């Protein structure tokens, strides 16, 4: 039968990863719809994620499954079809992160609902990799990350700091309260802007609903945490030009971003459709090309191993809170969000993805930069 043929093809692809269809291990795939096999061969990564959302297969431990799948580069072994070719071609031809699309990611992802993120994140609502050195819980680890950034920037009372992609105001509030900074935060999410203004009320913090390309003020320091992933490779240089233009004097620019091992211009098709539209993960080469002749790299710190612990903590919070969230979001969203958090956790655990904190200076610090850990 044709269905058996498809099943055999998929099992042959999975066997070298130690994965058995309907096997007894927690990372084994339990298939509940026989159409699953053809869908994977037809749609690759998109089909795998969508079929999970549709309940066509399940798995006792999704992150363990992806820790086996990711190093195998399974999608490279599945014959490329016209859908995958079109996805790749459109990424090369279309500037998906152009200014006219800037607010799409806010509407699609960050405006889902503050109740979701309040229940999932730490008390400061920090939606980026935490820093777990000497920390025992998510709240401590996120505060340690904010402290690390402030110390790397050497912020002093009264310094004007630009936060590109300020989220729910976690960094802005911390830098204002702990270091006496005057912070301007920008975001393309209406929900984030509203929340950030409320939590930063009474502090020297200005939260703007604004695209980074429209900033034209001067600041002592610039920081961007977890936003560069939405810039798009066609706009990397433009982003760096904006940061350079806004940075005055002897100030520093700290870029905190997810990074990948290989240069590409294509986002994962499932992540693109359901989680982060118009986004992609930069490589070291793409970043270094974008800063050439305008910035000197003072420090490049990889804290990516900490994102596994961060994502696991978010997932555990999400699971604990599902009872109060399920009526609004529904079962399909639950499966989508679980798949997102745990597949991403595996990507960091297998070192497929990283988190880089890069400190940049316009001309290079003459006395040398001393890393803060």
Q: What homologous superfamily does CATH list for 101-361?
A: Vaccinia Virus protein VP39 (3.40.50.150)
pTM of the model: 0.92
Judge whether 344 counts as a catalytic residue. yes
Q: Please report the DSSP string for 334-371 in residue order.
A: HHHHHHHHHHHHHHHHTTSEEEEEEEEESS--TT----
Q: How far apart are CA 304 and CA 259, in angstroms?
A: 9
Extract the runs of DSSP E, i.e. beta strands, from 232-352: 252-260, 296-302
Q: Tens-digit pLDDT profile for the chain (373 aa)?
A: 556 788 888 898 899 999 999 999 999 999 999 999 999 888 888 999 999 999 999 999 999 999 999 998 776 656 554 444 444 444 444 555 656 566 788 888 999 999 999 999 999 999 999 999 999 999 999 999 999 999 999 999 999 999 999 999 999 999 999 999 999 999 999 999 999 999 999 999 999 999 999 998 999 999 999 999 999 999 999 999 999 999 998 999 999 999 999 998 888 889 999 999 989 999 999 999 999 999 999 999 999 999 999 999 999 999 999 999 999 999 999 999 999 999 999 999 999 999 999 999 999 998 878 888 8
Ranges of each domain in the chain: 2-79, 101-361
CB-based contacts of 248, cutoff 8 Å, min separation 6 = 218, 219, 220
Q: How far apart are CA 252 and CA 155, in angstroms?
A: 9
DSSP letter for 38, please. Answer: H
* Helices and strands (H, E) in the chain, number of each type: 14, 9
Annotated active-site residue in 59, 166, 246, 344: 344
């Amino acid at each position: 039968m044709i269905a058996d043929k498809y099943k055999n093809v998929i099992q042959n692809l999975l066997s070298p990863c130690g994965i058995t269809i309907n096997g007894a291990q927690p990372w084994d795939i339990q298939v509940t719809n026989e159409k699953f096999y053809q869908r994977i061969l037809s749609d690759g990564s998109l089909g795998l994620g969508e079929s999970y959302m549709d309940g066509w297969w399940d798995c006792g431990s999704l992150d363990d499954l992806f820790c086996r799948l990711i190093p195998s580069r399974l999608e490279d072994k599945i014959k490329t079809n016209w859908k995958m070719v079109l996805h790749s071609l459109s990424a090369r031809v279309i500037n998906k992160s152009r200014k006219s699309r800037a607010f799409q990611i806010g509407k699609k992802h960050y405006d889902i609902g503050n109740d979701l993120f309040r229940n999932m994140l730490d008390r400061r609502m920090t939606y980026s990799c935490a820093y777990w050195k000497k920390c025992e819980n998510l709240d401590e680890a996120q505060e340690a990350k904010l402290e690390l950034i402030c110390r790397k920037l050497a912020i002093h009372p009264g310094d004007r700091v630009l936060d590109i992609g300020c989220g729910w105001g976690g960094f802005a509030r911390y830098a204002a309260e702990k270091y006496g900074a005057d912070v301007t935060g920008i975001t393309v999410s209406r929900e984030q802007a509203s929340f950030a203004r409320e939590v930063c009320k009474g502090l020297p913090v200005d939260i703007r609903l604004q695209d980074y390309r429209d900033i034209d003020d001067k600041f002592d320091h610039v920081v961007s945490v977890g936003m560069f992933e939405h810039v798009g490779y066609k706009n990397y240089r433009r982003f760096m030009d904006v940061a350079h233009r806004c940075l005055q004097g002897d100030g520093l620019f700290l870029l905190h971003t997810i990074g990948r091992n290989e240069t590409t211009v294509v986002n994962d098709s499932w992540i693109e459709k359901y989680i982060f539209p118009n986004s992609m993960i930069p490589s070291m080469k793409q970043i270094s090309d974008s800063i050439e002749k305008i910035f000197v790299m003072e420090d490049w710190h990889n804290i990516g191993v900490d994102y596994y612990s961060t994502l696991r903590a978010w997932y555990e919070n999400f699971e604990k809170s599902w009872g109060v969230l399920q009526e609004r979001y529904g079962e399909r969203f639950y499966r989508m969000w679980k798949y997102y958090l745990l597949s991403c956790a595996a990507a960091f655990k297998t070192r497929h993805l990283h988190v880089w904190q890069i400190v940049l200076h316009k001309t290079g610090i003459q006395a040398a930069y001393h890393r803060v850990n």
